[in-house]
Every structure is written in C-alpha cells, then in structure tokens.
C-alpha cells in the first residue's frame, strides 16, 4: 500500500513520475515555437516566417554583397595560374582572388577595380555620394535609425566620481600616470578609459 506522501509526489511530477499527455504536448509546443521577432515594427510586419533569415534579408534588401561560402564551392581548382583569367569580373568589392602555383605558393593577388562615385559640390571639394536604399523597408529602417541616432551620455556613479577626484588630485591631467598607478587604479583602467571618464 502506497504512502500518501508518495502519492502526492507521483501526482505532482516528482522524482520518477512520468509527465502526463497534456504536459508533454505543452512542452513540445513550447520547444517548437519560433522565438519572438525583435526589432522595429516595420521589420516585424514585413518579416516572412516561412523563409530563412538569409532569404528574408535578401527579400528585404538588407543583404550586403558578401559572397557566401556555398557559392565558392564550384571554384575548387580555379586558383592555379593560367586556368581562369576572367575572375576579376566576378570579384566583389572588398574581396580579392589569390593566385597560387602548383606547389601552393602565392604568385599574385587580384583585387577588383573599385568604382567609387564621388560628386563635387559647389566649392569644388569632393563629397561621397550616399547610397540610396533599394527597397521600401530598407528606407524605413534607415529613417528610423536616423531619427533615433543620439549620442549616449555617460553618467558616473558617486564612488567613481570620488575615485576620479582622488586621481586628479594626485596626477592632475596626466592620464598615463593614472593608468600606471597600481595602488589607486585597482580596476586597471587604461589611459583612454580614464580620459573618457
């Protein structure tokens, strides 16, 4: 005959108890549920859950021109000198092609020709032209980014302020000496960090 305490353990899912069918169903649904899409409302509305992340990025115009690893599988023997001369046409800006000999030594590195667009303003100085967004969602995201782009104001705590004042009393404006003081600078802040603080 079972002890009442053992019955309670079995009912509540204690040690050795098997989960019930509804509990298993809830657990299964929770595991298969896609995570919440975080980001601006414009991006959430246009995101297609049936597509992969890369497919969504490409459809929304957010994918840069980075060549994927899967696309380079077909180029297996083309790095040997003299085999493929028209690789410069297929190179992406920011990437290059390494030419090797039969032993694997590097012979040459081919970089693509950059076609930078520079516009001259009224005074004659060169100004880089802004690249326009290709899709409406990319344009919306750029507008949201421009509207919310504000500098972050750094606040110091009372303890940090007291520590900085003691360092200034000892060294003045010499941040390099402050960074080298191992007794006062217990957090090992660098010269740049102390200067920003």
pLDDT 10s digits, 54-74 = 888 888 888 765 545 444 444
Question: Mean of the per-residue pLDDT values for the chain?
Answer: 77
CA atoms within 13 A on the CB side of 177: 8
Q: Which residue has the higher pLDDT, 63 or 170?
A: 170
Predicted model pTM: 0.39
């Amino acid at each position: 005959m079972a002890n009442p305490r053992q019955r309670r353990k079995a009912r509540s899912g204690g040690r050795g108890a098997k989960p019930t069918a509804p509990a298993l169903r809830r657990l299964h649904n929770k595991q298969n549920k896609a995570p919440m899409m975080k980001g601006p409302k414009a991006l959430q509305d246009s995101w297609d859950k049936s597509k992969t992340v890369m497919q969504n990025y490409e459809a929304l115009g957010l994918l840069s021109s980075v060549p994927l690893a899967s696309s380079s599988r077909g180029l297996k023997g083309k790095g040997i000198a003299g085999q493929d001369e028209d690789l410069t046409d297929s190179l992406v800006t920011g990437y290059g092609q390494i030419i090797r000999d039969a032993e694997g030594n590097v012979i040459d590195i081919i970089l693509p020709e950059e076609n930078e667009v520079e516009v001259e303003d009224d005074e004659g100085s060169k100004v880089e032209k802004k690249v326009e967004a290709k899709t409406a969602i990319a344009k919306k995201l750029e507008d949201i980014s421009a509207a919310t782009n504000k500098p972050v104001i750094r606040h110091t705590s009372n303890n940090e302020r007291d520590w900085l004042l003691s360092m200034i009393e000892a060294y003045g404006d010499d941040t390099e000496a402050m960074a080298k003081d191992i007794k006062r600078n217990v957090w090992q802040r660098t010269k740049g960090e102390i200067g920003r603080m």
